């Protein structure tokens, strides 16, 4: 199943529970990226220095023995899988 999200936004806001162990989140398993897939990412706005810091940290997630996907950061694009705005 392919899930396409063209020019749409997905937001996830979670209110932290004050009771320990009560935080919740959800995951739609049908929308996972496949192993070895390349995920395109772009920044819609913000400071380029911050973009570089975020990219550096994100690349740690795809080191060997971690996530089995690849990141392709693109500049000045709005047609990527993930679009980050500040």
| Stronger pLDDT, 23 or 54, i.e. the higher one | 54
Tell me, what's the pLDDT at 1? Answer: 47
Q: Under DSSP, is residue 74 helix (H, G, I), strand (E, B) or coil?
A: strand
Considering only CA atoms, which of 22, 1, 26, 3 is closest in space to residue 13?
Answer: 26
Considering only CA atoms, which of 45, 47, 38 is closest in space to residue 81?
Answer: 38
The rounded percent of the chain whose pLDDT value lies above 90 is 36
Residue indicated by tokens 């496949």: 34
Q: What global pTM score does this model have?
A: 0.65
Q: Terminal CA-to-CA distance of the chain, rounded, Å?
A: 31
Query: Is pLDDT above 80 for 15?
Result: no
Q: What pLDDT, in 10s, does the model give residues 40-66? A: 999 999 999 999 999 999 999 888 888
Number of residues assigned to the chain: 86
């Amino acid at each position: 199943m392919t899930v396409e999200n063209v020019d749409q936004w997905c937001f996830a806001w979670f209110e932290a529970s004050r009771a320990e162990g009560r935080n919740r989140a959800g995951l739609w398993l049908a929308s996972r990226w496949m192993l070895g897939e390349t995920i395109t990412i772009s920044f819609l706005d913000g400071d380029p220095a911050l973009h570089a810091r975020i990219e550096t940290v994100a690349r740690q997630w795809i080191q060997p023995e971690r996530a089995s996907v690849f990141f392709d950061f693109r500049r000045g694009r709005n047609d990527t899988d993930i679009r980050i705005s500040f």
